[in-house]
Amino acid sequence: MAQQPSDNRSRVSRRDFLKLMAAAGTVMTFAPFVDWGKFLPNPSGQLRERQKVELPDGSQANVKTFPVNHSEAVIYPKTKDLVLNKESFRVWQFIRLPEELGGNKNDVSAFRMYSQVCLHLWCLWKYWPQEGRKRGECPCHGSMYDPLTGQAFAGPASLQAPPNNVLPRLDLEIDTQGNMWVKPPNWSVNGNGIVGFGRFLT
Amino acid sequence: MWIYAGVERTIFMGLKFTFPGRFVSPLGFLGMLTFVLFIILGITGALLMLFYEPILDRAWNSVQTINDVIPYGFHLRNIHYHASNAMVMLALLHMYYQYFSGRYKIRNEILWVTGIILGVLTILEAFTGYDIIFSERAELAISIAASLTNSIPIMGPQMREAFFGSGFHDFVLRFYAFHVFFLPIALLGLMVVHFPRFLVFDVPMVMAISGAVMLVGGVFPVDLGLRFDPNTPPGITVPEWYLTGLYSFLRSAYDKFTTGVAWPGLFIFSLLIIPFVDRYKKFSWKDRPIVTAVGITGLAQIIVTTYWGFYIDPDRTKSLLERLVIDPIFLYLIMILLVPLSFGFTYMMIKLAKNAEANAKLQPKKPSSGAKSINLPQNWIFVVFIALIAFQVYLNIAAYYAVLAGMKNYSLFIVGIMMLVFAGMWHLFRHGRSMEKAPPPKPVVPPSPLKAKPTPAVTSPTPPLALESGGSVKPVALGSPKEEKPIANPAPARGASATGTLDSSGLTKKSEHLTLQTTENQEAKSK
């Protein structure tokens, strides 16, 4: 019985040990390259700082001036490259909710900012403020979105399983002058969502 | 001559090229034809790269410029498109031929497995190709591909981000990178492994395939599609034919991962493992009933779903959703129904084939002479040749005028015909050479059934070709020079039939022999 441990020890021969060392060495040598996989995804959407909500006319959106039950297409993140600014995946619908949904309050709760890329097949939906509509509608296959939550309630997008049925949403904040800013996003289905793929409603 | 000596040190000495001296069934060298199309695609694709711009707002416009403005851009684009379809089609035929004739056995497993991977990559290559036009259809295809990747459990979202990047700008650029570099380089690398040692390069068949591609391009020029605009509803678009099978499953609106990733994955996986599952000792489809039946089932399901994917209810009063969605219960029911049907069909075919075999054995052998070969007298070969050359001259002029008149597709069509005529000329040429070599096709001895068999061994030094595809054709004398040594090299045929990679290996050594000898002759003459 006492010899048992020494038996076990002798089971690893010199040759096996050498092989083990070689394997360990190889793993250690190539381990850093695993992290290099981060090269592949495009990091351009990862912003650390808040950004202005820049309206199409170039001004920054302001709580005091932005009309109720109204929407604008906002580019986020905006670049200096005109081509990239045309990218659907950077187009967001900046909405001030209608009065009955609390749009006349002068705080962030009156505003929504959803990705304009329809979750069905990536056309650009937009908000229709007309009486009786007051919802997001996609021109392509007629998906409709609830402006309050960003959830699709009609059309093909509404038939998709979560998280593919709720629009990605950006978080906003208002400074003392009433200017509106976009908070740094968390691009995941449990955070702000993934453009074109949706988010879980929390 | 020193070139020949130099070649000895290269990889090419491992390969044995055969240039058949007569018509051989292309079934045996479909792989080589696929490779030829790959080369055609490489050349036309490289030329298209000079004008294509993989940028979000320019991709479609640059393709339009290639199509409408650049001289011969239309031709190259059409050849590129139709050759891609032909390549996928030939790869599929190649695979199924190998499948049903049991060629993946006898240590060909590596060839088979790499072949399946090559096939998948070929489809991906074709897929990324039509996506970078960035038309409406391309956008739909990209969005479906991205959402399928995204639907993969655990790693899906990361894979999507890694492969696709984010946004249309990335999609176009990355698909372009995949299309022109990553996938082709992977294809080439796998081809090195996939190439068997014995290869057939049949010039007439190669030219005929190229001609057919151009001809089809002339008759059915590919359209550009509408430029993708995220603000206007796209028309109903269907993917390319090699993906409509998958599309029909997606249209059943059942879970994306199951329909779009798991099913095709299962199909590819079962193809990958088939050589290791197939335990039959024989090769012929007739002797491997279960494997054949499984193959027929898969084929039937592919054909049905491929058609189904194309079919869209023409009733315009219904909503788009109603027209597009395929009832999953109906779809899967049909898929299941096809299983007993295919098994029954296979059973019947095997029965019939075996009966036919038995009958053929009972009846006295009909000498397969007569209708088989057309033997033109020597002079008439020249006449036909001259007629063909005259025809080529006419076609040249016609093609030129067609281009001048702006009838691009007509000129492409004519060039296709010219390729076909060239294929005919080459065939006539080799036929004439073989006639020259073995002049009268043996004073037709009314062949008694007893004598019919041994004759070929006498007429030609080549060992009786162990052909499956070549069929019952007697080894006609090849176009080799006269002073050929009769018993010099019949040996290598054994090696070939042992590995079974190639049908007409008997031809191999001879043609090599031929090229060497002709150059020797030339040298002698020049001295």
Structure tokens at B54: 């993989």
Q: Which residues make beta-bridge pairs with B104?
A: none
The rounded mean pLDDT for chain B is 80
* Residue of chain A nearest B322, judged by CA positions: A156
- Flag whether pLDDT at B497 surpasses 80: no
Sheet arrangement for strand A51-52: A51-52, A180-182, A172-174
Question: Min CA distance, A15 vs chain B (Å)?
Answer: 32
Assign B475 to helix, strand or coil.
coil
pLDDT score of B461: 43
d(CA A171, CA A111) in angstroms, rounded, equals 9
- Flag whether pLDDT at A71 surpasses 70: yes
% of chain B with per-residue pLDDT over 90: 34
- Average of per-residue pLDDT across A77-84: 88
The answer to whether the Cβ–Cβ distance between B321 and A141 falls below 8 Å is: yes
- Average of per-residue pLDDT across A117-141: 91
d(CA B290, CA B347) in angstroms, rounded, equals 9
Q: Does B378 touch chain A (CB under 8 A)?
A: no
According to DSSP, the β-strands at A135-137 and A144-145 are antiparallel
Q: Does A78 touch chain B (CB under 8 A)?
A: no
| Tens-place pLDDT, residues B118-145 | 999 999 999 999 999 999 989 989 999 9
The answer to whether the Cβ–Cβ distance between A88 and B168 falls below 8 Å is: yes
pLDDT score of B3: 67
- Flag whether pLDDT at B370 surpasses 70: no
d(CA B150, CA B159) in angstroms, rounded, equals 7
d(CA B121, CA B128) in angstroms, rounded, equals 10
The confidence band for A93, taking pLDDT boundaries of 50, 70 and 90, is very high
Question: For residue A197, what is the enclosing H or E element?
Answer: none
Interface test with A, best of B56, B166, B171, B323 (most A CBs within 10 A): B166
d(CA A44, CA B167) in angstroms, rounded, equals 10
Q: Does B325 touch chain A (CB under 8 A)?
A: no
| Tens-place pLDDT, residues B234-266 | 877 888 889 998 888 888 877 788 888 898 999
- Comparing A89 with B370, the larger pLDDT belongs to A89
CB A123 within 8 Å of CB A138:
yes
- Average of per-residue pLDDT across A89-110: 91
- Flag whether pLDDT at A156 surpasses 90: no
Assign A75 to helix, strand or coil.
strand
pLDDT score of B515: 42
d(CA B14, CA B84) in angstroms, rounded, equals 29
pLDDT score of A167: 95
* Residue of chain A nearest B320, judged by CA positions: A141
- Flag whether pLDDT at A12 surpasses 70: yes
CB-side neighbour CA atoms (13 Å) of B241:
12
- Flag whether pLDDT at B516 surpasses 70: no
pLDDT score of A160: 86
- Flag whether pLDDT at B517 surpasses 80: no
Interface test with B, best of A140, A160, A187, A200 (most B CBs within 10 A): A140
pLDDT score of A150: 93
pLDDT score of B429: 86
pLDDT score of B456: 43
Residues 6+ apart with CB under 8 A from B417: B211, B215, B395
Structure tokens at B116: 């399946």
Residues 6+ apart with CB under 8 A from A182: A50, A51, A52, A53, A76, A113, A170, A171, A172
Nearest to A185 by CA among A55, A85, A89, A121: A89
The rounded mean pLDDT for chain A is 88
Question: Min CA distance, A9 vs chain B (Å)?
Answer: 40
d(CA B508, CA B18) in angstroms, rounded, equals 5
pLDDT score of B78: 94
Assign A62 to helix, strand or coil.
strand
Angle between helices B109-131 and B241-250 (to 10 degrees): 80
d(CA B122, CA B34) in angstroms, rounded, equals 10
Distances in Å between the alpha carbon of A193 and those of A150, A189, B164, B167? 11, 4, 17, 14
- B150, B167, B233: residue with CB nearest A87: B167
The answer to whether the Cβ–Cβ distance between B166 and A44 falls below 8 Å is: yes
Structure tokens at B445: 């001895």
Q: Does A128 touch chain B (CB under 8 A)?
A: no
pLDDT score of B25: 82
Q: What angle do CA A121, A122, A128 make, to 5 degrees?
A: 110
Residues of A in contact with B227 (CB under 8 A): none
Nearest to B28 by CA among B89, B103, B86, B87: B103
d(CA B321, CA B318) in angstroms, rounded, equals 8
pLDDT score of B468: 42
- Flag whether pLDDT at A60 surpasses 50: yes
The confidence band for B484, taking pLDDT boundaries of 50, 70 and 90, is very low
- Average of per-residue pLDDT across B454-483: 42
d(CA B99, CA B30) in angstroms, rounded, equals 13
Q: What angle do CA B170, B261, B222 make, to 5 degrees?
A: 60
Residues of A in contact with B166 (CB under 8 A): 41-42, 44-45, 89, 195
Question: For residue B454, what is the enclosing H or E element?
Answer: none
The answer to whether the Cβ–Cβ distance between B166 and A88 falls below 8 Å is: no
Assign A96 to helix, strand or coil.
strand
- Comparing A97 with B518, the larger pLDDT belongs to A97
* Torsion region of B350: left, alpha or beta (phi above 0 gives left; psi -120 to 50 gives alpha): alpha
Q: Which of B232-236, B384-388, B436-440 has the lowest mean pLDDT?
A: B436-440
Q: Which residue has the tokens 């790693």?
A: B155
- Flag whether pLDDT at B478 surpasses 80: no
| Tens-place pLDDT, residues B326-349 | 888 888 899 899 888 988 998 888
| Tens-place pLDDT, residues B45-81 | 999 999 999 998 899 999 999 999 998 999 999 999 9
d(CA B299, CA B250) in angstroms, rounded, equals 19
Q: Is B512 exposed, middle or buried (0-12, 13-18, 19+ CB in 10 A)?
A: middle
CB A145 within 8 Å of CB A158:
no
Q: Does B146 touch chain A (CB under 8 A)?
A: yes
pLDDT score of B442: 55
The confidence band for B489, taking pLDDT boundaries of 50, 70 and 90, is very low
- Flag whether pLDDT at B206 surpasses 60: yes
CB atoms within 10 A of CB B104: 23
Question: Min CA distance, B316 vs chain A (Å)?
Answer: 14
d(CA B61, CA B149) in angstroms, rounded, equals 28
- Comparing B242 with B4, the larger pLDDT belongs to B242
- Flag whether pLDDT at B514 surpasses 70: no
Q: Does B55 touch chain A (CB under 8 A)?
A: yes
pLDDT score of B501: 41
- Average of per-residue pLDDT across B82-105: 91
Structure tokens at B385: 């040749």
| Tens-place pLDDT, residues B256-313 | 888 888 989 999 999 999 888 888 878 888 788 888 888 899 899 999 999 988 888 8
